Amino acid sequence: MELVTALDAHHAEGLDHRGVLYTDRASLVALAVPLITRALADGERVVVVVDRATARELDEALAHEVGTSSITFPSPSALGGHGSRAFTECLAGWADGPVRVVALTQYAPGELGPGVDPSLSGLPLTLICACAEGADPAVRRAFDDDHDAAPRRHADPHDGHGPPAAALETDLAGSADLAGVRRQVRRAAVAAGFRGRELDRTVLAVHEACALGCRLLVGAPTSDPAGDTTAETARDTAGDTAGDTDRRCWVTVRTGDGRLSADVVVPGAAGTDGAALPGTPGVDQDTVLGHVGHFCHAVSVHDGRRSRAIRVQARTALAR
């Protein structure tokens, strides 16, 4: 699943159509909160069309963040099935104004049409279609068909918005290297003008991308000793991130104009969407990225043919 952010939405003039896969309700909420928060901060309208339980959790989560008065939660029945005529008309109605609309919709069993109507292409609309990994096969097939033309991940992690200068190039063999890389990233961020809380948040976000890279490098969880539930849970969550010495994550940090863009490239880690991280049963990559999104401007995952890149983008207040 790609973590779609409001920053990504800015890239498109008209319709920006994305597909995301999620593992469970919590991961969908974790995905949506930073996305909605940023969209609202940027003055965009937000429409969330999801099942009632997800809407309730989102409502609660967002109440702490931004208040929910500026978000609309229409019933899924009001929208109709994805690709249906009602679906197209609803979206066209919402996006009929000067303000960009971010619509998060959830694929569900029911009426499934022939994809998003081309008539929406000129509208100021970011349409994010979410589909459960374990959805009904017909739903999943429709989702895959609808989004094949709009790849869920960018092929190139460098979208042109990141400043070009490489301020730091280093690598990680395992979690033992995290502290050292953290210090290098901090130095690069300071040189780029990050200070105080912004600096700490940026270092944390890049660190998490590196930590995720280390986890993806590792193949299997370590053995667990017998013990009580608390102990086992904590042990499981910790995970063993000692790296394979033959494989490394490559870290590139670019800075400029109060911006920092960090790419953590993990060889051979592509195609592990939604999978539990090694040593961390129940914790998947998307949940982690959802958390990281709170601490930077944007975080995203980009798959190449033989690698996965985790990209963190941060900005100083002056650069926003």
Partner 1 sequence: MPSPLWEGQEDVRRAPGSRSHALLLAPLDQLHAGAAEWVGRELAGGSKVLYKGWLGTDQRPDRHWIVGPWGAPGGQEAFASGQLEFLDFPAVIERCGGTTEGLFRMQLDELEQAFDEGWSTVAMTQETTYRPMTDATEAAEFAGQERGYDLMGSRWPVNTLCQLSLGEERDTAIWESMAVHHRELVATQWSARTADGRWHLVGELDAHVAREFGAAVHGALRAAWRFPDRPHLDVDLSEITFMDLACAQIMMLAARSTARHQRVVLHRVPALVRELLTVVGLPRSVSFGTEAVRWSS
Interface residue with partner 1 among 211, 296, 301, 309 (CB under 8 A) is 211
Is residue 294 involved in binding partner 1 (CB under 8 A)? yes
Locate tokens 């494989």: which residue? 247
Stretch that binds partner 1, among 37-45, 151-159, 176-184, 255-263 (CB under 8 A): 176-184
Interface residue with partner 1 among 118, 197, 305, 318 (CB under 8 A) is 197
30 vs 58: CA distance, rounded Å: 9
Residues contacting residue 144 through CB under 8 Å, at least 6 positions apart: none
Least distance from C-beta 65 to partner 1, angstroms?
10
Stretch that binds partner 1, among 98-106, 133-141, 239-247, 305-313 (CB under 8 A): 239-247
Partners of 284 in the β-ladder: 276
Least distance from C-beta 174 to partner 1, angstroms?
8
Interface residue with partner 1 among 2, 16, 146, 208 (CB under 8 A) is 208
Is residue 318 involved in binding partner 1 (CB under 8 A)? no
Is residue 98 involved in binding partner 1 (CB under 8 A)? no
State the DSSP code for 154: -
Interface residue with partner 1 among 178, 272, 304, 319 (CB under 8 A) is 178
Least distance from C-beta 5 to partner 1, angstroms?
16
175 vs 4: CA distance, rounded Å: 27
Interface residue with partner 1 among 63, 149, 191, 238 (CB under 8 A) is 238
CA distance from start to end of the chain: 27
Locate tokens 């969880």: which residue? 221
With H, G, I as helix, E, B as strand and everything else as coil, classify residue 14.
Answer: coil
Is residue 222 involved in binding partner 1 (CB under 8 A)? yes
What would the x/- binding string for partner 1 be over residues 135 to 174, using CB under 8 A?
Answer: ----------------------------------------
Is residue 103 involved in binding partner 1 (CB under 8 A)? no
Is residue 126 involved in binding partner 1 (CB under 8 A)? no
Stretch that binds partner 1, among 37-45, 49-57, 223-231, 247-255 (CB under 8 A): 223-231
Contact 238, 225 (CB under 8 A): no
Burial pattern 228-256, b for ≥16 Cβ within 10 A else e, equals eeeeeeebbeebbbebeeebbbbbbbbbe
Torsion of CA 257, 258, 263, 264, to 10 degrees: 150
45 vs 47: CA distance, rounded Å: 7
Is residue 245 involved in binding partner 1 (CB under 8 A)? no
Interface residue with partner 1 among 1, 199, 262, 266 (CB under 8 A) is 199
Is residue 225 involved in binding partner 1 (CB under 8 A)? yes
Is residue 57 involved in binding partner 1 (CB under 8 A)? no
Instruction: Phi first, then psi: give them for residue 155, nearest 5 degrees.
Output: -75, -30
Torsion of CA 21, 26, 32, 36, to 10 degrees: 170
167: buried, middle or exposed (CB in 10 Å: 19+, 13-18, 0-12)?
A: buried
Least distance from C-beta 305 to partner 1, angstroms?
28
Least distance from C-beta 33 to partner 1, angstroms?
9
CA atoms within 13 A on the CB side of 291: 12
Instruction: Phi first, then psi: give them for residue 40, nearest 5 degrees.
Output: -65, -40
Give the residues lining the site for partner 1 (CB under 8 A). Answer: 175-176, 178-179, 182, 186, 195-197, 199-201, 203-204, 207-208, 211, 214-215, 222-227, 229-231, 233-235, 237-241, 283, 288, 291-292, 294-295
